Amino acid sequence: MSQRRRTTLVAASATLLAALPLSSVFATWAWFVDAVIMVAVITGIALGVRSLRTAAWVPTAATMLGLLFVLTVLFRSGHELLWLIPTPGTVGHFHSLLVNAGADMRELGVPVPDREGLLFLSTLGVGVVAIVVDLMTLVLRRPALAGLPMLAIYSVPVAVREDSVSFLPFAAGAAGYLWLLATDNVDRIRRFGRRFTGDGRDLGAWEPSPLAAAGRRLALAGVAVAVVLPMAVPGSNGGLLARFGPTAGDGTGDGLGRGGNGASVDLYAALSGQLNSNRTFDMVKVQTTDPTPYYLRFGVADDVTTAGFRSRRPAGSQPATGGLPAPAQEAGVTLRTYHAQVQIVSLNMNSLPVYLQPTRTGKLDSAWFYDRTDQLIYSRRDNSRNKKYDFDYVRAEFSPDALRTARPLEPDNPIQRQYTAVPPVGEVEKTVASITAGKRTPYDKVLAIHSYFSADNGFRYSLETKGGTSGSAIVDFLTNKQGFCEQYSAAMAWLVRAAGIPARVAFGFSRGSNQSGNTWTLTNRNLHAWTEVYFDRFGWVPFDPTPSAFVDGAPSAWAPDPSAPQNAPDTTAPRNDLPIPGGPDRSGAAAASGGPREDRAVDNGAGVPAAPADPWPVWSVLVAVLAVALLLTPAGWRALRRRRRRPGRRLTVPPPTVLGATVVSDDAAADLARRDAHDAWDELVDTMIDYRFPVDLASTPRVIAEHLIVSAALDEWATTGARLLGQAEERARYARQPLRSDDLAGSLRAVRDAISHRVSWRTRLRAVFLPASVLSRWHAAVNEALTRVAESMVRQRERWVRSLSPRRLLPGRRG
C-alpha cells in the first residue's frame, strides 16, 4: 500500500512536470499555482479514498468531483452554495469562461496574459490530465499510456508557438514520464520478488539497480537525441513563411502591442485564426464618404529575418489627436479627401484601423500616437476595444505612368537600407532575376512581380497551405503556389525586396462586401494582408497580389489584379458593387453563398479561374468507398471460399455413359466424394472458428463434431448434420471407401444456422465481417512471409560478416 501511495505521488509530480511546457504559453506563472492546487487536491483525494479500500472506480469518481470543487472555488462566480457547491449559475460561468478562452485564443498571441478564461482552461486541462494519469497508472496499471495525456499538454505550446519551444520544459516533462515508468517498474519487480544487484547483494528501496543501467542509459539517450536532433536538422524550426501557415503564431510576442497593457495581438496568428474560424462575426463598422474605399489598415510587418516578417513596435511620439501630416501633392497622383467614422465591434488591438492617409482624428484621447513611418495610430496604454472614432483622410490614386517616373532610391537612403534587407535565398534571387529581366523602372519590376502571382502562373488561393521539403517556406510557396493573403503578401514583399525595392507587409481589412449605404461592416473573414512598396517621391503604394475574387479586394489602376483579365483592369471596379459574400470561401460558407458565388464566377469570365473546386466531397466519397471495400474484403473472401467449397459443386463431371466411351472409374467417384467431404468439413471448421467455437487440432473429426454438438447445444436436426459431416470427413480421411452423401450441403447449412442462433449478435456480426478463419489465415501468411524475410536477411548478413571478417585471412583458417 505504501508503494501504491508512492506511485500516486509520483504520478502527480509527473503530471506537474509534464505541464511545465505551458509556461512558454503564459506570460506569468499564475497558471502554475492553480495547476499545483488542482493536482494537490486531486492527489490528496485519490490517496484518501484509496486508503479506504473501495472499489477501483471510486477514487476516480471522487477525483472528478474534486476537480469540479477546485474549479468552483478557484473560479468563483458568486452563485455557489457555501463557496463550494456548484450551481447552475456556476456552470453558466464556466461556459462563459470557456467562450472567453476561445476568443482569447483567437485574438492573443503568446505569451498570453493571465486571462481568467485561459487560466480556467489550463487548470481544467491539468486536472483532467492528472485524473487520467492517475487512472492509467494506479487503476489500469499501464503507466506507459499515461504518456499520452502528458503529450497532449506538451502539444499545446508546440502547436501555439511556431518557433521551437525551449527544450527545458520538454526535458522536464520527459523526466517526469520516465520517473513514473521507473517507479512503476520498480514496484512491479518488488512485487515479483527481491531486487538485487546481480552479484547477490540486495538493493535498497531507492538504490538504482545496476541491472537496469541499460534501461536508464537508453532513456537518457532517448531524451538527449530528442533534444539535440531537431537542432541539427535544418529548417525544422521554421523559415519565413512557416509563420504564415494556418497555425502560425508570432512566437516572439513582440507584436504591435508589447508596450500596451498586455493585450498583444499577433497579426499573423490573428489573421489565420480568424480566417480559419468556423464563425463569422462583425469586427468593425465603418462609415465613409468614399464610395469605393480602399483597405482599412491597422498593422505593418516590415522587419524580415530568417524567421519571417514580423512587426516592430510602433514608434513616434506625435499625438494622434491633432492634425496629421498630409501627403505631398505629386504629378500623376489624385488626392481626394474623405471622412470616415469607425466603430469597433470586436477588435482588441493597440492600434486603430484607419484608411490611408489620415490627416485629422477625432474622439481620441491623448493615449493615442501616430507612427509616421508605419502610418499607424497606436497606443501603449489603451486598446481598440469598443472604440468609436472618426477621422479625415486623403486617399491617393496613383497613375501607372507617374509611378513609372519614380527612380530607384539611393543605396544609402535609410528607407532603401531598412526595407530591402532580406535573407539571401538562392532560388528566390533566381526567380526575381527571371521575373524582372528586361524591366527598367522600379514600377515595372514591381508590376512584373505582382503579375507573377497570377492564377495564369499557377498560383491558387487556398486557406490550406501545403508544406514543402525545401526547408524554406518561401521556396515552398513559390513551388506549391498555394496559399492565401499571408503567403501572397509576404512573398511579394520578399521578392520586391530581393529586387532591391523597399517593401513591407500591411495588415487590415479588405473592402468587404457588406455594404448598406455608405456603411461597411467588416467581419473576421475580411481580415487581410497586402504588400506596400515604397517609391521615391510617392511614398508607400499598396499592391495586393491576392486574387481579389477571393478577398473582396479593391482594385487599383496601378496594381491591377494579376488574376483578373489583363485587358480590363478598369472594369473590375463595378464588379465590386456586386453583393459578394464576405470572406474567403470555405467549404462551409460555400454552401450558404452558392448563388452569388456562381454569379461571380460567371462574371469573371474565363480569365479568372473559378474558385478551386472543393475536393473534399470527392475525397470523402473515395475514402468511404475504400473503407467499405476494406471492411467487406474479409467477408467477400470468406463468401468466395464458401462458394468454392459447396459440396456437390463438382457434380458437373460427365455422367458415365453406358456405351463405355467415358467410363468414370470408381476411384474417380471416390475421389470426388472425398473432396466433397473434405470441403464440407473445412467449411464447418471455418464456420466454427468464425463463430468462436474452439477447434482443437488434436481432436479427430468425430470428437470435434461431438464437442460442437454439446457446446452449441445443437438441435436434433443439426446434431444429425454435424455427425454426418464428421463421419464423412472421417471416412474420407481414413477409410478405403469414402461416404457418399448428397446431404452434406444441407447438413452444413443446418449446422451453421444452428450455430449462428446460439451466439450473440456481436459474434455473428464479427463472423460475417471479420471472419476469424480468414483473418488468422492472413495473419499466418504475413507471419510466414516476415519470418522468411528475416531469415534471408540473417543469412545475407552472415555472408557479409563472413566475407568482411579479417579472421578469414588468418593462416590456418578457411573462410
Partner 1 sequence: MTTQRTQDELGRPMPPPEFRAVTEAIVANIERVIEGKTATVRLALAVMLAEGHLLIEDVPGVGKTKLAKALARSIDCSVRRIQFTPDLLPSDVTGVSVFNQEERDFEFKPGAVFANIVVGDEINRASPKTQSALLECMEERQVTVDGVTYPLQTPFMVVATQNPIEMEGTYPLPEAQRDRFTARIAMGYPDAGAELAMLDGHGAADPVLDLLPVSDAGTVRRLIATVREVHAADAVRQYAVNLVNATRESPELRLGASPRATLQLLRTGRAVAALEGRDYVLPDDLQSLAVPVLAHRIIPTAESQLSRRTTDAIVADIVRRLPVPADRQRSPYGTGTQYGTGRR
Q: Which residues bind partner 1 (CB under 8 A)?
A: 678, 682, 688-689, 691-700, 702-703, 730-731, 733-736, 758-760, 763, 772, 776-777, 780-781, 783
The C-alpha atoms of residue 604 and residue 568 are separated, in whole angstroms, by 11
Residue 736 or 813: the one with the smaller Cβ distance to partner 1 is 736
Secondary structure element (H or E) that encloses residue 730, with its range: helix 716-734
The CB-of-731 to partner 1 minimum distance in angstroms stands at 8
Residue 779 or 799: the one with the smaller Cβ distance to partner 1 is 779
The CB-of-705 to partner 1 minimum distance in angstroms stands at 12
The CB-of-769 to partner 1 minimum distance in angstroms stands at 17
The CB-of-721 to partner 1 minimum distance in angstroms stands at 20
Q: Which of 275, 346, 344 is nearest to 526 (CA)?
A: 275
Residue 440 or 692: the one with the smaller Cβ distance to partner 1 is 692
Residue 310 or 731: the one with the smaller Cβ distance to partner 1 is 731
The C-alpha atoms of residue 635 and residue 682 are separated, in whole angstroms, by 17
CA 163 centroid distance within chain:
16
Residue 511 or 731: the one with the smaller Cβ distance to partner 1 is 731
- C-alpha cell at position 116: 481568467
Q: Which residues pair with 411 in a beta bridge?
A: none
How crowded is the C-beta side of 474, counted as CA atoms within 13 Å? 26
Residue 503 or 688: the one with the smaller Cβ distance to partner 1 is 688
The CB-of-18 to partner 1 minimum distance in angstroms stands at 37
Q: Which of 108, 114, 29, 117 is nearest to 71 (CA)?
A: 117
Q: Please, what is the angle between helix 147-160 and helix 2-19, to 10°?
A: 10
How crowded is the C-beta side of 302, counted as CA atoms within 13 Å? 25
Residue 395 or 723: the one with the smaller Cβ distance to partner 1 is 723
Residue 312: C-alpha distances to residues 22, 256, 373, 505, 532 (Å)? 26, 6, 11, 12, 16
Q: Helix, strand, or coil here: 388? A: strand
The CB-of-428 to partner 1 minimum distance in angstroms stands at 59
Residue 141 or 692: the one with the smaller Cβ distance to partner 1 is 692
Residue 57 or 734: the one with the smaller Cβ distance to partner 1 is 734
Residue 590 or 782: the one with the smaller Cβ distance to partner 1 is 782
Residue 388 or 650: the one with the smaller Cβ distance to partner 1 is 650
The CB-of-139 to partner 1 minimum distance in angstroms stands at 24
The C-alpha atoms of residue 352 and residue 389 are separated, in whole angstroms, by 9
Q: Which residues pair with 390 in a beta bridge?
A: 341, 362
List alpha helices for 161-286, DSSP H: 167-192, 213-232, 267-275
Locus of grid cell 498586455? 262
Residue 466: C-alpha distances to residues 461, 474, 505, 645 (Å)? 12, 12, 21, 51
The CB-of-278 to partner 1 minimum distance in angstroms stands at 44
The CB-of-703 to partner 1 minimum distance in angstroms stands at 7
Q: Which of 77, 22, 13, 19 is nearest to 42 (CA)?
A: 13
The CB-of-698 to partner 1 minimum distance in angstroms stands at 5
Q: Which of 705, 711, 742, 708 is nearest to 725 (CA)?
A: 705
The CB-of-782 to partner 1 minimum distance in angstroms stands at 12
